[in-house]
A and B are shown apart, each in its own frame.
Chain A
Amino acid sequence: MSGFPTLRALALGLGLIAAGPAFAAGEEVELPNTRFSFEGLFGHFDRASAQRGFQVYKEVCASCHSMHLMSYRNLRQIGLSEAEVAAIAATVQVTDGPNDDGQMIERPGRASDRFKSPFANEQAARAANNNAYPPDLSVITKAREGGADYIHALLLGYGDPPAGVQVAEGLHYNKYFAGHQIAMPQPLSEGQVEYHDGTKATLEQMATDVTQFLTWAAEPEMEERKALGVKMIIFLTILGGLAYAVKRKVWHDVH
């Protein structure tokens, strides 16, 4: 086996380096690392927090941001009852049809409807937002480097620009946004929503809750995925032990 270990190390290194580029792009400010309940091998969503987060989304973000991949029925997954979901859905009017007369109709939303978007199309969204486009938030935590940590930091990253930095008309200073000038005005402020469950709506609390909600929305399968993963790894480890034992037995007479 002369000289082989170095090369073996190289081969393994390939896999590790491969992971590098995914994190490498950009030189933004370092993100604070927030501890979320969904992190780690056994991570799970904090249902109460996700529900509060939905409330923040509905009362604040939804006036600008769509979440067109979500259906109201999905909310059952974070612990809302069937009646609660139906009530939430019924608060919006959706266009349906055409009916037998060929007319489009307006009807109250149902659990099976997608979240209603605030604007009919991108142009309308831009027109209402100083020509900036508030992106759909359905998969936002997967669509940004830094994921949940980034969204959380972004929501708390507003403040006065450092001396000498000119913020352009209609833009706002944000420490964590690429380029530091974002078209979204600071969306959250202390006590902005009144939580149904009585939790105090601090800025930090709302940012954490809405991030919890958005992470669930982006990866609703995460709990199931990780739970299955743990079972798979245990199963495969045992299977690997057996396979190795069999291999040793088969090769017994050769070695």
Chain B
Amino acid sequence: MATGLHKSDFANPVIRWVDARLPVFTMMQKEYGTFPTPRNFNYLWNFGALAMVNLLIMIVTGIFLAMNYTAHTSMAFDSVERIMRDVNYGWLLRYAHANGASMFFIVVYIHIFRGLYYGSYKAPRELLWMIGVVIFLLMMATAFMGYVLPWGQMSFWGATVITNLFSAFPLVGESIVTWLWGGFSVDNPTLNRFFSLHYLMPFVIFGVVFLHVAALHITGSNNPLGIDPKGPQDTVPFHPYYTAKDSVGLVVYFIVFAVLVFFFPNMLGHADNYIPANPLVTPPHIVPEWYFLPFYAILRAVPDKLGGVLLMFGSIAILFVLPWLDTSPVRSMRFRPLARPFFAVWCVTFLVLLYCGGKPPEEPFVTIARVCTAYYFLYFLVILPLLGRLERPLPLPESIARPVLRGGGPLPAGAMGKPMEKA
């Protein structure tokens, strides 16, 4: 590519001057202004933008919290309470940050659900999807370490239980745990490093989100029909169409967020975390934050510690290879009559796991969690690969602009079986 000034289309001389030397305005115009976007999004396509906003809220509230927070075992708990009492609007910062983490996971879970239902992980968006799974993992690590910072009973015991999982690995396990702790128990060094990393990770997430969006703008967005736009009649420019539509979703998101922060700020938390950490008193039920419960249930479903740890990590790792496990060429489940009920059951399984994870490890929850864990993996490892071969997809519409079928559209290459008759 030749060097030299960029040819800018902007009329304003200042913007034009900058844009010619650093075409950020052209980039924004291209990626968020005129960017051709499928015209048929439903409101589930709001959640990416919501996650982005949520990340920014976490960073802003977090930075102000960090100005008043003290990362020392003898002061952390009181410093958080001091933020709530003596810092101007400190209670708002703290409750927005704590509930913001919950909102973040609600948003991202729905975002992932959207991807699963509409097959957004399939070619050509495999890498985009995998980057998303990386973001999810980083979020979990960030939230886990954040929850340790207020140094309440659940902070301490949650950290102890979760870091101890690594001791399940043979030979190196114990050393890894000592290394994570910076000592021989969860203590001040642990709190300090967790604070440092908790401050760092969101910015790493921000970088990975950038890659996520960059990859998205190469492949373009998927859509509820799961078929590619065939021309300009199938798309609208991102602005003003989707800026307007995202704004509606954003306000609804803020209403839900506000109800939590202003009226039920501690509903999703655990009362025990308002008891200062005490290494000598183990709480009767140690439970992680609600958004980890499905994975916690999988961990506990396995009688063997190492097996549980592997299965828990496996439950997320499997998402990385999902694009190759799902063999159906049809993206959207709207046209997959068999896959749909199996997926619905998978969603129920996930919610039941979430429920079981919050229960004490006793019957009937253990058995229920085991059945659900089995189905969780069965769905990805057996059902999806087989469905691609056995299922007869419904006829796909010819294009997004003409979704009404006249005699059925072309079958995607590679789909087995005959298209079903129109009901």
- By the criterion CB–CB under 8 Å, are B293 and A21 in contact? yes
- Residue-by-residue, is A103-121 near B (CB-CB < 8 Å gives 1, otherwise 0)? 0000000000000000000
Q: A21-B357, A221-B84 are in contact. Are A14 and B247 (CB under 8 A)?
A: no
- Choose from A21, A69, A230, A254 the contact partner of B287 (Cβ within 8 Å): A21
Q: Does B196 contact A (CB under 8 A)?
A: no
- Chain A positions 122-161 with a Cβ under 8 Å from a chain B Cβ: 135, 138-139, 142-145, 147
**Interface residues, chain B, with chain A CB atoms under 8 Å away:** 39, 78, 81-82, 84-85, 91-92, 95, 102, 106, 109-110, 113, 117, 236, 240-241, 244-245, 247-248, 250-252, 254-255, 258-259, 261-263, 265-272, 274-275, 284-285, 287, 290-291, 293, 333-334, 340, 343-344, 347-348, 351, 354-355, 357-360
How many Å lie between the Cα of A239 and that of B247 in the bound state? 10
Q: Which of A22, A218, A225 contacts B268 (CB 8 A)?
A: A22
- A143 with B272, Cβ < 8 A, contacts A7-B347, A20-B358, A246-B247 known: yes
Q: Are B248 and A225 in contact (CB under 8 A)?
A: no
A41 within 8 A of B: yes
Query: What is the distance, in angstroms, from B28's C-beta to the closest C-beta of chain A?
Result: 19
Cβ-based interface call for A98 (8 A): no
* Nearest CB in chain B: distance from A132 CB, A: 12
The answer to whether B263 and A221 touch across the interface, beta carbons within 8 angstroms, is no
Picked from B272, B333, B354, the residue with its CB within 8 Å of the CB of A14 is B354
Residue of B nearest to A218 (CB): B274
Q: Distance (Å) between the CB of B233 and the closest chain A CB?
A: 11
Whether the pair B354, A251 counts as a contact (CB closer than 8 A) is no
State the main secondary structure of chain A at its contact with B: helix
Q: Are A10 and B351 in contact (CB under 8 A)?
A: yes
**B271–A144 touching, CB < 8 Å:** yes
Bound CA–CA A178/B281 (angstroms): 15
A135 to B261 alpha-carbon distance, docked (Å): 27
B244 and A228 contact, CB distance less than 8 A = no
A225 touches B244 (CB 8 A): no
CB distance from A68 to the nearest CB of B (A): 8
With A229-B263, A243-B251 already in contact, the answer to whether A10 and B271 are too (CB < 8 A) is no
Whether a CB of chain B sits under 8 angstroms from the CB of A19 is yes
Chain A, Cβ-Cβ closest to B240:
A250
Residues of B within 8 A of A232 (CB): 258, 262
Q: Collect the chain B residues with CB atoms within 8 Å of residue A218's CB.
A: 274
Instruction: Check if A246 sits within 8 Å of B268, measured CB to CB.
Output: no
**Contact at B344–A7, with CB atoms within 8 Å?**
yes
A contact residues around B268 at 8 Å (CB) = 18-19, 22
Residue of B nearest to A244 (CB): B248
Contact with B along A216-244 (1 / 0, CB 8 A): 00101100011011101100110110011
CA distance A226 to B92 in the complex (A): 11
CA distance A240 to B247 in the complex (A): 8
User: Cβ of A250: which chain B residues have Cβ within 8 Å of it?
Assistant: 240-241, 244
Q: Is the interface of B mostly helix, strand, loop or mixed?
A: helix
Query: Are A3 and B333 also in contact (CB < 8 A) when A10-B348, A226-B263, A250-B244 are?
Result: yes
**B-facing mask of A144-187, CB < 8 A → 1, else 0?**
11010000000000000000000000000000001000000000
Which of A2, A18, A19, A26 has the most chain B CB atoms closer than 10 A to its own CB? A18
* Minimum C-beta distance from B267 to chain A (A): 6
A237 to B258, CA, bound (A): 11
Name 26 A/B residue pairs within 8 A (Cβ), A-sorted: A2-B334, A4-B334, A7-B344, A13-B351, A17-B351, A21-B290, A21-B358, A22-B290, A24-B358, A25-B287, A69-B81, A138-B81, A139-B274, A143-B274, A145-B271, A221-B85, A229-B261, A232-B258, A233-B255, A237-B255, A243-B244, A243-B250, A243-B251, A247-B245, A251-B241, A254-B236
Extra pairs beyond A142-B266, A243-B244, A247-B248 (13, CB < 8 Å)? A14-B109, A19-B290, A22-B358, A24-B359, A26-B284, A139-B81, A229-B261, A232-B262, A233-B258, A233-B262, A239-B251, A243-B248, A254-B241
B236 near A240 (CB under 8 angstroms)? no
A32 to B244, CA, bound (A): 48
Which residues of chain A come closer than 8 Å to B291, judged between CB atoms?
18
What CA separation (Å) do A145 and B19 show in the bound complex?
58
Report the minimum CB–CB distance from B213 to chain A (whole Å). 22
B267 near A22 (CB under 8 angstroms)?
A: yes
Contact of B248 among A142, A178, A226, A240 (CB under 8 A): A240
Interface residues of A in 1-44 (CB under 8 A from B): 2-4, 6-7, 10-11, 13-15, 17-22, 24-26, 41
Q: Contacts A10-B351, A25-B287: A243 and B358 contacting too (C-beta < 8 A)?
A: no
> Once bound together, how far apart are the Cα atoms of A237 and B256, in whole Å?
11
> Which B residues touch A233, using CB under 8 A?
255, 258-259, 262
Complex formed: what's the CA distance from A143 to B22 in Å?
A: 54
Q: Give Cα A7 to B340, complex, Å.
A: 9
Known: A18-B106, A250-B244. A69 touches B78 (CB 8 A): yes
Say yes or no: B236 contacts A11, CB within 8 Å: no
Distance in Å from the Cβ of B168 to the closest Cβ of chain A? 24
B110 touches A11 (CB 8 A): yes
* Chain A to chain B: the 3 pairs with minimum beta-carbon distance, closest first: A229-B262, A21-B358, A143-B274
Contact of B355 among A7, A10, A20, A147 (CB under 8 A): A20
Residues in A with CB closer than 8 Å to B78 are 68-69
Complex-state Cα separation, A139 to B276, whole angstroms? 10
* Nearest chain B residue, comparing its CB with the CB of A228: B262
The residues of A that contact B85 with a CB separation of less than 8 Å are 69, 74, 220-221
Contact B106 A14 (CB under 8 A): yes
A244 to B249, CA, bound (A): 9
Chain A residue at smallest Cβ distance from B236: A254
Bound together, the chains give a CA A62 to CA B236 distance in angstroms of 68
Q: Is the CB of B274 within 8 A of A254?
A: no
Nearest opposing residue in chain A for B355, CB measure: A17
Are B270 and A10 in contact, with the CB atoms below 8 A? no
On whether the beta carbons of B270 and A22 are closer than 8 Å, the reply is: yes
B106 touches A15 (CB 8 A): yes
Which of chain A's residues has its CB closest to B271's CB?
Answer: A145
